[in-house]
Homo-oligomer: A and B are copies of this chain.
Amino acid sequence: MARNAVTRSRARFRRETPEDRRRQLGEAALRCIVKHGNAGVSVRQIAAEAGVTQGLITHHFGEINELVAYAFDIMSDGVLQAITRAVEEAEPAPQKRLDAFIEASFSPILFDRDVLGVWVVFWGLILHSPRMSVSQQGEYSDYVTTVQGLIGDLAAAEGFSIGDIRLTSVAFTALLDGLWLAWCLNPSAFKPQEGVQLCRNWIEGLRRGAYA
């Protein structure tokens, strides 16, 4: 026991399961991107941020692009989960669920300059990384599907019609992404609560048959 304690205190590094270590490295990568943007995507910086040596990244991910893609997946999952949770916690009426979705999108958990900044960096990488592109397509598809479900339920409950619901969902997703981007690049452009209002206005247009 004493032996154990001494041994552990003398340990020069902790041995962790591949899953844990991969996640630690992924989260360190996200922190680096928050701090330095594209410049933060570097084996050395990420390893330092995670408190390990560079070789560990090679060992667990092979090449750095794989780590970045993994970090992107962590990020995507986090966002979708946060939104989904907010929706599930809302009252079951379609109006309430959709509004919870909107509110969550502009709540500090997601509508945060650090979060959005990471997102923007990823967007810039996706175009030239097939691996990232694959992740993005899956994530985007899930996202639009979620939006489509919410909007479809609302239309069914209130009895208005939508011409092409998938396309319409793409538009609403684009509005959200566009507002995220605009605010991220220039937070003085509008206030979060104004973003919520603009989304509600968009829904109001939907109700009034502008997309029929």
Contacts and interface: CB of A to CB of B under 8 A. Distances in A.
A185 to B, nearest CB: 5
A84 interface: no
A125 B39 CA distance: 9
Interface string A49-70: 0000000000000000000000
15 contacts: A36-B128, A37-B127, A136-B185, A140-B189, A171-B198, A173-B182, A174-B177, A176-B178, A178-B178, A181-B181, A201-B210, A202-B210, A204-B210, A204-B211, A205-B210
B175 A174 contact: yes
Contact of A170 (B120, B177, B189, B204): B189
Contacts of A207: 210
A179 interface: yes
Nearest to A166: B190
Interface of A is mostly: helix
A209 interface: yes
A126 interface: yes
A123 B120 contact: yes
Q: How large is the interface on A (under 10, 10 to 19, 20 to 34, 35 or more residues)?
A: 35 or more
A137 interface: yes
Interface in A12-45: 36-39
Nearest to A184: B127
Interface of A: 36-39, 117, 120-121, 123-128, 133, 136-137, 140, 164, 167-168, 170-171, 173-179, 181-182, 184-186, 189-190, 194, 197-198, 201-202, 204-211
Nearest to A203: B210
B190 A167 contact: yes
